[in-house]
Amino acid sequence: MRFSKITTFNFITAASLTLILAACDSSDPSSTGSLSLSVTDAPVDTADNVFVEFNGVEIKPASGNSITFDFTERCTADPTSCQIDLLAQTNGASELILNSETVVSGQYDWLRLLVKAERDSYIVINGEEFELRIPSGAQSGLKINAGFVVPAGGEASFTIDFDLRKSVHDPLGPPGVNDYILRPSLRMVDNSATGTLSGTEGNLPPQMRHC
């Protein structure tokens, strides 16, 4: 499946990738596959832009510890390099956040998008910026609590649809509090087949873990 807009984030260095593969003892190419992940959105009429900062992606093999692709260093140096305008990812467009990363093949239990919950995620309405709060986002991230398979010697490619029409909520609280709330209604679409996986929230590990 091809999209009209694809921007690659080079968050993982060759050295980091080597460490991950060494920790997994995956020198045999037949025991690895590649994983690509994009984000997209359905159109929404009430906002001009919806920027969310992504700090990483975590995936959990069926056996072994979770693996995290950590974007924190790059995001700290240049927050705009990690911010994605979800409203720009409509009508078949998407933003690529993992591009054919080599991982151990086999069954995975879930994946999690790690997000910046405050300040660097915001919504623009009629030209005015408002903070976009993601409840528990900094602690738990955004979890797709369903399994997927990375084929040996092949590629697994998914697109996560945020569906902002269902996800963005008007400000809550006393007058003068103008923060908006993002409670994502997520769908994960297998780009090679028809079907979706629903999303829930979970816990965010304190640091990068290897399998």
Mean pLDDT of the chain: 74
Do the domain assignments include residue 62?
A: yes
Closest CA to 155 of 188, 191, 187, 189: 191
pLDDT at 17: 35
Do the domain assignments include residue 53?
A: yes
Dihedral sign for Cα 200, 203, 207, 211, please: negative
Half-sphere exposure of 191 (CA within 13 A, CB side): 20
Rounded to the nearest 5 percent, the helix, strand and coil shares of the chain are: 15, 40, 45
Beta-strand relationship, 187-190 and 155-161: antiparallel
Location of structure tokens 């997994």? 24
pLDDT at 111: 92
Report the alpha-carbon distance of residue 204 to residue 172 in Å, rounded: 25
pLDDT at 66: 94
What percent of the chain is modeled with pLDDT above 70?
69
How does pLDDT run across 112-127, given as a tens digit for each residue? 999 876 666 888 888 8
Range of the domain at 82: 14-198
Do the domain assignments include residue 109?
A: yes
Q: Which of 43-47, 83-87, 169-173 has the highest mean pLDDT?
A: 83-87
pLDDT at 137: 60
Do the domain assignments include residue 3?
A: no
Do the domain assignments include residue 208?
A: no
Do the domain assignments include residue 133?
A: yes
Report the alpha-carbon distance of residue 70 to residue 58 in Å, rounded: 8
Three-state SS at 150: strand
Do the domain assignments include residue 156?
A: yes
Q: Which two tokens stand for residue 209?
A: 């873990």
Do the domain assignments include residue 85?
A: yes
**158 to each of 139, 183, 210, how far by Cα in Å?**
24, 21, 22
Q: Assess whether pLDDT exceeds 60 at residue 13.
A: no
How does pLDDT run across 49-93, given as a tens digit for each residue? 989 889 899 999 999 899 999 998 888 888 888 899 998 998 888
pTM for the model stands at: 0.71
Provide the number of structural domains found in the chain. Answer: 1
